Amino acid sequence: MNNDSVKVAWLFSAMFMWITFLGFIPNFFPGEPIFLESYIAVKIIHLVTSICFIVVTRSNEATRIQFIQMFGFIYMLISVIGFMGADIKIGEQWDAVIRLNLVNYLQFSLGIALSAIGMILMNRQKLARSALVAV
């Protein structure tokens, strides 16, 4: 059994958990712009994302790969909405979720990385299946 998708899911789970933790650290440089906005809604989104990646490690490989790809596309969509400058307001705290700034570039890059990793894992899974059928 190929467990690369499990490793990828755990890696991204740890990354989002770390980002959640960083959101609780205050800005030590007064007057300087902060890179990670620490609104509670953003922290909750990162925490839920991390938990989703943990849950998906218990599923089969095809589901893990689909989740990784789907999550990449969702992140790219969020960043495109942010690039367009559309403010989606669902309360004041949600205003920070989608906004035009450096985070949109980071989210778009993360979306591309997740989608590409998902496609690579899917191709490896297909190659492994075809090798088993050929034997």
Question: Over the stretch 17-72, which tens digit does the pLDDT of each residue have?
Answer: 998 888 777 666 666 555 555 677 778 888 999 999 999 999 988 899 899 999 88
Instruction: Report whether 10 contacts 57 (CB < 8 A).
Output: yes
**Predicted TM-score (pTM) of this structure:** 0.72
Give the pLDDT score at 45. Answer: 85
Determine the Cα–Cα distance for residues 17 and 12; give it in Å rounded to an integer. 8
Residues 6+ apart with CB under 8 A from 91: 41
Give the pLDDT score at 108. Answer: 86
Cα distance from N-terminal residue to C-terminal residue, the chain: 16
Residues 6+ apart with CB under 8 A from 22: 36
